[in-house]
Amino acid sequence: MTPDVVAGLDDDASRVVAGEARAWFEANWNPDMSLGDWWAVLAESGWGFPTWPTHRYGRGLDPHLAPLVNGARRAAGALGPPAGIGPNLAGPTLLAHGSAGQQDRFLPGIVNGEIWCQLFSEPGSGSDLASLQTRAVRDGDQWVINGQKVWTSGAHIARYGILVARTNPELPKHQGLTYFVIDMDQPGIEVRPIREMTGRSIFNEVFLTDAVVPEENRLDEVGSGWGVALTTLANERTMLGAGSFGSSGGSMSITKPDLAGRVGDLVRESGSGEGVPSGGVGALLRGLVEQYDRSGDPLIRQEYATIYSLLEIARFTDLRVKGAVERGGRPGPEVSVGKLAASHLLRTLRETMFRICGADATLWGEDAPLGGRMHDIGFSSYLISIGGGTDQIQRNIIGERVLGLPREPSIDKGVAFSELLVGTQRKTDG
């Protein structure tokens, strides 16, 4: 962050935080450190996760100050903290619902790059997550888990998973769920990668057969899993929301980090190849316009302005979410607005990029514009509209909780889950 930016901040707290962050990164960033050592230093400083509590690897900052810290880090050329499901979903959920002992055990690994996965969706319960059928049965001081999960990002390399399972099928579907942290490295778990249209296999099917979870890994009370899951889902929608595309924050790519590698070699000064501009999607689009000399095209200029407007709307929506948290509440329907905005933004960006590139849009891999980054964005436009709750689910939430429209008719309210014909659950004779 440059001095003129700091001077332009609108309150003393912002100036102090920006100045302190800039001074720390300038004094401590060392590109010759190993990745593991850098993440350890960053975690202990509190500047890696500045909104977390001071005794939990953070600095207790208000959420609206976090972009100042990220700006100071980028100005110093420093690599960011670990990203993905661990820091963005599991960490905040543990901070909100986990015991002190659970936080002591799991947070150190998360801030130091341990990979986590999210075991929520099932073949018969995607958008209707509360109809999940994976069972957890208490057996002494542990729980025995049986069932199947799907679309589990990073399960093939994850150390731990956040898991929602049904512990009482005789209660209505939202009331009989419990939330666990499960060790993915055990004989009762089989992971089968799913090949995607990108050629990668980030998603997986996960089969749980008599897998075990110790009682000490249960989050919150038995039967309160739906409320805990809502915290995770709110953070997931924030993570996938349009506000996350406005800057070059931590990468959401799911790979196993080389903790022994030189950290300076991992700084993403360019997207995925030489000549790719740094920054968020706005910077990528600007670079593409300049590369193809389309800045004078009135249609492209109009679409560029549209995308800029969408990014600004997303930024303000993101601030509303952070404001709700800052006031002591939970993220509300704003996260659904942001998630829906992300889908619209990426679809618009995809079409604009393809239009700018013309026939070059048919190229693939490193030969493609932006070293293939353009196609990653195009494919992500489909992923974002499904993952974390489909666009249709987000519209339902906005309609009911923002516009005050009547809820969709529900015939399962108050009915025991065992009596419902949902997903793959079917009545059997006898």
Catalytic positions: 236
Distances (CA, A) of 98 to 23, 105, 123, 199: 33, 10, 28, 37
Can you say whether the dihedral through the CA atoms of 35, 36, 42, 48 is positive or negative? positive
Residues 287 and 285: their CA atoms lie apart, in Å, by: 5
Residues 6+ apart with CB under 8 A from 140: none
Going by C-alpha positions, the residue among 238, 200, 194 that lies closest to residue 330 is: 238
Look-up of token digits 């769920």:
177
Q: Which long-range contacts (CB under 8 A, 24 or more apart) does 62-68 make?
A: 62/322, 62/326, 63/322, 63/323, 63/325, 63/326, 64/319, 64/322, 64/323, 64/326, 65/13, 65/14, 65/17, 66/322, 67/247, 68/1, 68/9, 68/14, 68/17, 68/18, 68/21
Q: Distance of alpha carbon 44 from its chain centroid, rounded?
A: 23
**Cβ pair 234, 388 in contact under 8 A:** no
DSSP state of 171: S
The phi, psi pair for 263, rounded to 5°, reads: -65, -30
Going by C-alpha positions, the residue among 75, 73, 59 that lies closest to residue 13 is: 59
Q: Which amino acid is at 405?
A: L
DSSP E strands in 20-79: the ranges are: none
Residues 201 and 124: their CA atoms lie apart, in Å, by: 21
Going by C-alpha positions, the residue among 154, 273, 164, 269 that lies closest to residue 208 is: 164
Beta bridge partners of 135: 146, 166
Residues 310 and 314: their CA atoms lie apart, in Å, by: 6
Residues 17 and 46: their CA atoms lie apart, in Å, by: 12
DSSP state of 406: P
Q: Distance of alpha carbon 81 from its chain centroid, rounded?
A: 14
Residues 6+ apart with CB under 8 A from 377: 281, 284, 346, 349, 350, 353
